[in-house]
Amino acid sequence: MIGAAGLAAVAAVGPGAGLAAATAEVDICAGVAVVGDSPQVLCRQNSRWVLIGDDGVAKATTGLAGALVLDVATDARGALAAGSIDGEAALWSSADGLSWREVLRLHGRRSVFTAIASNPSEAMALGSDLSGEDVPQGTIAARRLGVNWSLGAVTGLAATAYVTTLAVRRGGWLAGAIGSQETVLHVSSNGTTWSELAAGRLDDAAVQGVLDDDGSVRWVGNAIGGSAALAGTVGAGRGPAGVPDRSHAVGLVRTHRGRVSYWLLDGRLQTAEVR
């Protein structure tokens, strides 16, 4: 892994965000998606969601007020986001990554969507029903075929694990679910029935991004025992991610620069090429 590079200081633009906020830090990042031609990271800055490109400029978004966004995905129609609002699982879509509209919400259901992905013909989100103590107690799944989203059942994913990453692979889908000591990667050809990927039990790793290049699965994440920044290839080991050890994995995307991982360190975004 090479090519660690800090993004330029995050500059804020847009309504109500003047130059005074030019060095403001972000507190969490939901994920990274390629919107248009370039990767964009959706982050929360001063309680507002902003979109940050490779130039480090943070642009204010609309439509996500009060939301907890946990993942974003590239979509043929722009971008998708998954999370919750008022403790209810919700999904959003956007043509440009800046203006978002809610497309699904599980009203009256204590739940959260935690991962989202799309291919040219459909989109899918996975998440969890939550207990009164806010821990996962059942997997939820939503699919978009055509225009509308609908809920469906899935099998093979642990009810008590958070699905933190979802990606498209040749002939189906790839998902990572984090338990108390490992991430288990699962594959599915139809999005409904899931099974463990061979060698896909990643001990002591909380995975936040995966890419499947014709069966070679790269991942990024953090150690569970100590949270060190990690990057690896399923079946071929792991190592330092090429960013400071305290960095928190945000996601992994394929760009014109190759495979690029995104990380959050002390409120600043970092990137590293993943070979």
Partner 1 sequence: MITFQRIDGTPVYYWRSSRGNTTLRNWQCTQAFYDKLVLWVRDLRSLSSAYGSVTYLVSAGFYVNKPGQHGAGTAMDLDYVRWSGGQVSSPLDQHHASSTASLRKRYLAVDAVCRRRFRYALDGWYNSAHADHIHSDFGGLPVLCVKSSESDTKFVQAMCNNFRGSGLAVDGIWGTNTQNAFNGAKSALGITGDPHSSSAAWQSMLSKIATKGFANQTF
- Please enumerate in sequence order all residues whose Cβ is within 8 A of that of 66, keeping only pairs 6 or more positions apart, or say none: 85, 86
Q: How far apart are CA 81 and CA 8, in angstroms?
A: 25
Site for partner 1 in 120-139 (CB under 8 A): 131-135, 137
Provide the token pair at 233: 């290839």
Site for partner 1 in 64-93 (CB under 8 A): 70
**Among 125, 88, 138, which Cα is nearest to 109's?**
88
Phi-psi region of 11 (alpha: psi -120 to 50; beta: other; left: phi over 0): beta
| Smallest gap from residue 31 Cβ to partner 1 (A) | 12
Burial of 208 (0-12, 13-18, 19+ CB in 10 A): buried
Among 45, 93, 114, 271, binds partner 1 (CB under 8 A): 114
Among 140, 224, 243, 269, binds partner 1 (CB under 8 A): 224
Among 142, 249, 253, 260, binds partner 1 (CB under 8 A): 249
| Smallest gap from residue 155 Cβ to partner 1 (A) | 18
| Smallest gap from residue 84 Cβ to partner 1 (A) | 9
| Smallest gap from residue 268 Cβ to partner 1 (A) | 13
- Edge to edge, the sheet with strand 48-52 lists 11-13, 57-60, 48-52, 38-45, 28-35
Residue with smaller CB distance to partner 1, 92 or 162: 162
228 binds partner 1 (CB under 8 A): yes
Q: Are 98 and 107 in contact (CB under 8 A)?
A: no
Beta pairing, strands 195-203 & 162-169:
unpaired
Residue with smaller CB distance to partner 1, 249 or 253: 249
Among 118, 139, 164, 271, binds partner 1 (CB under 8 A): 164
Q: Which residues pair with 83 in a beta bridge?
A: 69, 90
Provide the token pair at 94: 């956007």
227 binds partner 1 (CB under 8 A): yes
239 binds partner 1 (CB under 8 A): no
Residues that bind partner 1 (CB under 8 A): 70, 112, 114, 131-135, 137, 160-162, 164, 178-181, 203-204, 206, 208, 221-228, 245-246, 248-249
